[in-house]
Amino acid sequence: MTTIAITGATGQLGRLAVAALKARGATPIALVRDTAKAADLGIPARAFDYTTADPAVLQGVDTLVLISSNDFSDRAGQHRKAIAAAKKAGVKRVVYTSILKGDASPMILAQDHVATEAALREAGIPATILRNGWYTENYTGALDAAVQHGAIIGAAGEGRVNSAARRDYAEAIAVTALDHVHTGRTYELAGDTAHTGADFAAAVATAAGKPVAYVDMSEADYARALQGFGLPEGFAKVLADSDAQAGKGALQDSSGTLSRLIGRPTTPIAETIAAAL
């Protein structure tokens, strides 16, 4: 029986990945900073921090699911430490959640992922790279305010985005972690159907029963607006860059790889919007 451990197991993607693994009969190990927060997962938990990455914690682990850190201060450095710990502990394979298009992506956000993919190659640990596209939930976090004001803002223009629900990507983690046939492979993962900002706003309007329009802004104005909502300046600029690059096709992928991998169509945006509202 393969022993699977998953970092960030109490995070939004991590919890869904744990559920997907359990649904397939696996009992993964949760690697978390605070084991008390993992008590409700119903699986063994070990204290593991990207910044210290103690190899002893990874002893006996065959497959490490490395969910990318949400600490943007030094993500690549944290990932390198985790990979070094995995190598020292004798981990046989790493499944890593990267970004759509990897080193071909022009997004600032891609840089940490490109560095991590390189670190995996340098470490020589067999890996499965899941290049995740955008989560539809990235757009649904502030829907109440959008419906209230009748507007969704962005900087993507008429750019098309193949977003998918977090649970779709979580299932891809489970499928690939459980089968060694995926070792050494890189998958470009995205939703089945592309949408523009205007398409998304129209879907929100339909679900809410109120008019909601997409308001396109310049990248700089969008960054300032995000700061106005309380985001730190650096992070606001990264998100605005992501949206602007999405306008140029950085988050578009019509390969259908994700749906083939999980054996079903990806979740329609309308379903994720309805759940958020």
Q: How deeply is 60 buried, as exposed, middle or buried, from its count of CB atoms within 10 A (0-12, 13-18, 19+)? A: exposed
Which value, to the nearest 10 degrees, does the dihedral of the CA atoms of residues 105, 107, 112, 113 take?
A: -30
pTM reported for the whole predicted model = 0.96
φ, ψ (nearest 5 deg) of residue 14: -60, -45
Using CA atoms, how far apart are residues 136 and 266, in angstroms rounded to an integer? 11
Question: Per-residue DSSP letters for the chain?
Answer: ---EEEETTTSHHHHHHHHHHHHTT--PEEEES-GGGGGGG-S-EEE--TTT--GGGGTT-SEEEEPPPS-TTSHHHHHHHHHHHHHHHT--EEEEEEETTGGG---TTHHHHHHHHHHHHHHT--EEEEEE--BTHHHHTTHHHHHHHTEEEES-TT--B--B-HHHHHHHHHHHHH-GGGTT-EEEE--SS-B-HHHHHHHHHHHHTS--EEEE--HHHHHHHHHHTT--HHHHHHHHHHHHHHTTTTT-----HHHHHHTSPPPPHHHHHHHH-
Question: What is the third-level CATH fold of 4-134+165-189+254-266?
Answer: Rossmann fold (3.40.50)
Q: For residue 133, what are its two tokens?
A: 């596209």
Count Cα atoms within 13 angstroms, Cβ side, for 147: 17
Q: For residue 148, what are its two tokens?
A: 């209230």
Question: Cα 248–250–252 angle (5° rounding)?
Answer: 100
Identify the pLDDT of residue 68.
Answer: 95
Query: How many residues appear in the chain?
Result: 277
Count Cα atoms within 13 angstroms, Cβ side, for 193: 12
pLDDT (tens digit, 0 to 9) for every residue of the chain, 277 residues total?
789 999 999 999 999 999 999 999 999 999 999 999 999 999 999 999 999 999 999 999 999 999 999 887 889 999 999 999 999 999 999 999 999 999 999 999 999 999 999 999 999 999 999 999 999 999 998 899 899 999 999 999 999 999 999 999 999 999 999 999 999 999 999 999 999 999 999 999 999 999 999 999 999 999 999 999 899 999 999 999 999 999 999 999 999 999 999 999 999 999 999 999 9
Q: What angle, 0 to 180 degrees and rounded to 10, lies between the N-to-C axes of helices 166-178 and 12-23?
A: 50
Domain range annotation of the chain: 4-134+165-189+254-266
Identify the pLDDT of residue 141.
Answer: 87
Identify the pLDDT of residue 72.
Answer: 78
